[in-house]
Amino acid sequence: MKIAVASDHGGYILKKTVIALLEESSIAYKDFGTFSADPVDYPDIALAVAEAVSGGAYERGILCCGTGIGVAIAANKVPGIRAGQCHDTFSARAAREHNDANILTMGERVIGPGLARDIVTTWLQAEFQGGRHSRRVDKIGVIESKYNCSSR
């Protein structure tokens, strides 16, 4: 599995925690930035990871910002992306098993490093269950096609 990882300045320290976990687990990843705590715009960071995942170069992505909200909104504008904001392990497991979430988003100002590690581990280990969930995920694709995921 290859993971695309990124953060804005608000999630920079949390991203370093995520990267440490990936390295400890021998999971391949690419860091798409940011590379310091200097301010950057979260849509730019989210777009880089979302395009890498939607294009198939990476199986999944992990995005961090201050709350996890901004990067989730931005990433979900890219067709084929199902970014789930998770701040607990139950949501992380359900995001994968029920929603086939291919990007995990978390907020550094919301959770600490220990919980973040548990969330990432849970999300990486969980697999999409298919079945009745496939029908629902397919409907998301229909919505994407209908509206072309454009902002108004």
Binding-site annotation: residue ranges for D-ribulose 5-phosphate? 8-9, 66-70, 99, 109, 132, 136
The C-alpha angle 82, 7, 37, rounded to 5 degrees, equals 165
Q: Which of 64, 86, 87, 98 is catalytic?
A: 98
Whether 87 sits among the annotated catalytic residues: the reply is no
Cα–Cα distance, 39 to 114 (Å, whole number) = 25
Beta bridge partners of 106: 64
Cα–Cα distance, 51 to 57 (Å, whole number) = 9
Tell me phi and psi for residue 37, to 5 degrees: -90, 10
Q: Which of 65, 86, 133, 149 is catalytic?
A: 65
Cα–Cα distance, 19 to 3 (Å, whole number) = 10
Whether 65 sits among the annotated catalytic residues: the reply is yes
Range 99-132 burial, b when 16+ CB lie within 10 A, else e? bbbbbbbbbbebbeeeebbebbebbbebebeeee
The C-alpha angle 1, 60, 120, rounded to 5 degrees, equals 90
Q: Which residues are catalytic?
A: 65, 98
